[in-house]
Amino acid sequence: MPSDTPETLFVAHATGRLLHVRACPQLIGLDAPIRATAAQVETLGTCAWCAKELSEAGRRYFDSVEQAVRTLDPSDDAVRATEAALGDVDYELVWVPPSYSHIAVGDKEHAVAWIGRGCVMHEDGRLIDFG
């Protein structure tokens, strides 16, 4: 797994054998997945779902969160709720992975928040549900 992926990678537990992005279905419901160490990023494989999500092929970038949200839900309510849940998160890039399963915001190094239907998951593990 290249260490220059624009996502923060996690393992489900200390002895996890696969890397995951925070929005991975395998991590949903875990109170505190563990951020992967540099050694884990270099040596562990990536779960199949996450490998597709990390692929640059098919990734679509947007100029703003509003533009990305409107591709999934054109309502003004969805845009306002998403922007409020993001709060003062600092980001440069907005993208959706090939699956369109979520919207990610971050910088060239990693994602800092993930937007799903009715919720925003922050890098620190906070989940803000507005659905």
pLDDT tens digit at each of 131 positions of the chain: 334 455 678 887 777 889 988 778 888 777 677 888 889 989 999 998 888 877 767 788 999 999 999 988 889 999 999 999 999 999 999 998 877 888 999 987 778 898 988 899 898 888 899 87
Residues with Cβ < 8 Å from 123, sequence gap 6 or more? Answer: 8, 22, 110, 111, 112, 113
Residue 6: the pLDDT is 55
Model pTM above 0.85? no
Is residue 66 within 8 Å of residue 81, measured between CB atoms? no
- The residues, any chain, with a CB within 8 Å of residue 74's CB and separated by 6 or more, are none
Containing 61, the helix (H) or strand (E) segment is strand 60-62
Kindly tell me the burial class for residue 93, based on how many C-beta atoms sit within 10 Å of its own C-beta (0-12, 13-18, 19 or more): middle
pLDDT attached to residue 68: 95
What is the predicted pLDDT for the residue at 3? 41
